Amino acid sequence: MAEQSVDTDLWAIAAQVTDPEIPVLSIEDLGILRDVRREGDDAVVVTITPTYSGCPAMGTIQVDLENAFAKHGVQVRVELVLTPAWSTDWMTESGKAKLEAYGIAPPTGTGHKGRVTVGMTVKCPHCHSLDTKELSRFGSTSCKALYQCRECLEPFDYFKVLS
């Protein structure tokens, strides 16, 4: 029972690390934190899966994980796992709510490998209008598209559905 408590404590340390591109989300909220485990007496291994294979934030997240564990006197090895590929289904409901509060429309509906479905309705995270339009399929990062609300006229990112 004590071993399970330790693993829970280790998970909690990792879960506090935030995404450097969207700092209101933890890596747990985002669903990229896949596993935290002990290997032997001293080693802790954290497994993460990037939102896409070329995500530039992975290096920063690795360093942030190492620093978070170092504060607790624990050395950690970070494993980057690409299979299975990350899916927006792995995001927590809390994470999706945090995205919307931050001004980014969370993933909704269905899509095909990150492409926003043509004609898909995306709710404005500012005024909640459904009268929005896609400005560009490519937003501030590869996992987002740029939209604009026709009601409040605010531009916003939409976090693409990846399945």
Structure tokens at 127: 């005024």
Average pLDDT score, the chain:
86
DSSP-derived letter for residue 89 is G
* Residue 34 per-residue DSSP state: E
**pTM assigned to the model:** 0.78
Instruction: Kindly report, residue by residue over 35-62, the tens digit of the pLDDT.
Output: 999 987 778 999 999 988 888 899 999 9
Residues 79 and 129 in one domain: no
11 and 81 assigned to the same domain: yes
The answer to whether the CB of 114 falls within 8 A of the CB of 124 is no
If DSSP codes are grouped into helix, strand and coil, which group holds residue 55? coil
Range 56-70 burial, b when 16+ CB lie within 10 A, else e: ebbeebbebbbebbe
Residue 106 and residue 66 share a domain: no
Q: Report pLDDT for 163.
A: 62
CATH number at residue 25: 3.30.300.130
The reported pLDDT for the residue numbered 148 is: 93
- For residues 125 and 56, membership in a common domain is answered with no
The number of distinct structural domains making up the chain is: 2
The pLDDT tens digits for 104-131 are 999 875 444 444 455 578 999 999 999 9
The residue range of the domain holding 151 is 89-159
- Cα–Cα dist 98/101, whole Å: 5
